[in-house]
Amino acid sequence: MSAKTEADAPVLARLWTYQAERFPLIQTVPLLAAFSAASVTASARLADRSLPHLSAYLIAFLIVMVFFFQMRALDEVKDAETDRRYRPERPIPRGLVSLGLILWIAGVAVLPAVLGAYWVSPLLLLLVILAWGWLALMSFEFFAPKVLHASPALYLVSHMAIMPLIDLVLTGAEWVPYGTMPPGLWTFLLMSFANGCVVEFGRKIWAPEQEREGVETYSSSWGIKSSLLALGLAVLAAFAALVICGIYLARPVETALCGLAVLLPTIYVIIAFARHPDRKRQKRLETLSGVWVLACYLAAAFTPTLGVSV
C-alpha cells in the first residue's frame, strides 16, 4: 500500500496498522497480562494471603497497558528527529498517523488508569502518579540529554528505573488495601529492574549488518562482546533476585530450578551470538530475552504452588 493510500484510509484502519508495527497487541496483550497477573499473585504469595478478587488483576492489567502505551508514545516524541532522518519507513514519519494523534490517545488513557487506581485506593493512585512523574522525566531525558547519550550505562539505569516503579503499582493492586508491602517484595522489584535491562539489551544488541546510521545501539556503542557481557550480567542479576524471592516464598529449590530451565538456553544463545553475530542469532537473542523475562515472573508467582516447603 502506498503512503498516499495509507493516509487516505479511515483513522481506525490506520491506527490498526500503527499498533501492528509499533505496539502489536497480539504480542503485547498476553505478555502484559502475564506480567501484571504474576505481579499481583506474587504479592499475595509473599504476604501468605489468598489471591485477591479478579478486579485487582483487571485493574493491574489496565494500568500496565496504559503505562506501556504511554512509554511507546513518548518514545515516538524522543525519536521523532532520528526517525525522520534515518527510519522514514516508520508509521509517523511516513505519514500513516500523526504524532499528535498518538499523544492524544496516550493522554486520554490517563482517565481509565486514574479511575481504576482510585477504585482500589487513593494510595495506589499516588503510586501511579509517582510512576508517571518518572516517565515524564524520562521523556525530557532528565533535562540532561547530552549527558545521558554520552553514557549508555547511565541512560539505561535512569530509564529502566521505571520498571520497579511500574511493578510497585502492579503489586500494589494487591497489597495497598492491606496498608503494608509484603516481606521480600524488594526482591521482585529488583528482578523487574534487572529484567527491564535484559529486554533493553535484547532489543538493542544487533548484528553488524543490521546496524544503521544514526540509530544508537549497545552493540555499536560498546561492541558486541561487551554489550553481550552486560546482557549476561543482567540475566544473572535477575536470576539471583528470583532465587532470593524464592527464599521468601519458602520455595528456593523450585524457583531456582524453574529459572535454570530458561537461564541455561539464554546463556547458550548469548554465547552463540558472540561467536557468530548474524541476523538470525540476533532475532533468537531478542526472542529468548523476552522468554527469560516472562519465565522469571511466572516462576516467582506460581512456584509456591509446587513441591514441599524447604
Report pLDDT for 4. Answer: 66
Q: What is each CA distance from 70 to 5, 26, 64, 108, 162, in whole angstroms?
A: 28, 18, 10, 10, 12
Task: Give the residue ranges of DSSP H helices in the chain.
Answer: 3-8, 11-22, 25-46, 54-78, 80-86, 99-108, 110-120, 122-139, 145-150, 152-160, 162-175, 185-204, 218-222, 224-248, 252-275, 279-302
Cα torsion angle, 112, 117, 123, 126, sign: negative
- For residue 125 the three cell numbers come to 493512585
Report pLDDT for 3. Answer: 59
Distance between CA atoms of 218 and 299, rounded to whole angstroms? 29
Distance between CA atoms of 264 and 241, rounded to whole angstroms? 16
**CB-based contact 288:231 (threshold 8 Å):** no
Distance between CA atoms of 241 and 244, rounded to whole angstroms? 5
Distance between CA atoms of 90 and 214, rounded to whole angstroms? 15
Please calculate the CA angle 202-162-100 and round it to the nearest 5 degrees: 90
Distance between CA atoms of 243 and 165, rounded to whole angstroms? 21
Report pLDDT for 214. Answer: 84
Report pLDDT for 310. Answer: 37
Report pLDDT for 304. Answer: 73
Report pLDDT for 306. Answer: 58
pTM: 0.92
Distance between CA atoms of 38 and 302, rounded to whole angstroms? 8
Distance between CA atoms of 131 and 137, rounded to whole angstroms? 10
Nearest to 229 by CA among 153, 138, 117, 132: 153
**CB-based contact 194:157 (threshold 8 Å):** no
Distance between CA atoms of 274 and 268, rounded to whole angstroms? 10
What DSSP character marks residue 192?
Answer: H
Distance between CA atoms of 241 and 296, rounded to whole angstroms? 9
Would you write out the chain's pLDDT as a tens digit for each of its 310 residues?
A: 655 677 789 999 999 999 999 999 999 999 999 999 999 999 999 999 999 999 999 999 999 999 999 999 999 998 899 899 999 999 999 999 999 999 999 999 999 999 999 999 999 999 999 999 999 999 888 999 899 988 999 999 999 999 999 999 999 999 999 999 999 999 999 999 999 999 999 999 999 999 988 888 999 999 999 999 999 999 999 999 999 999 999 999 999 999 999 999 999 999 999 999 999 999 999 999 999 999 999 999 988 765 544 3
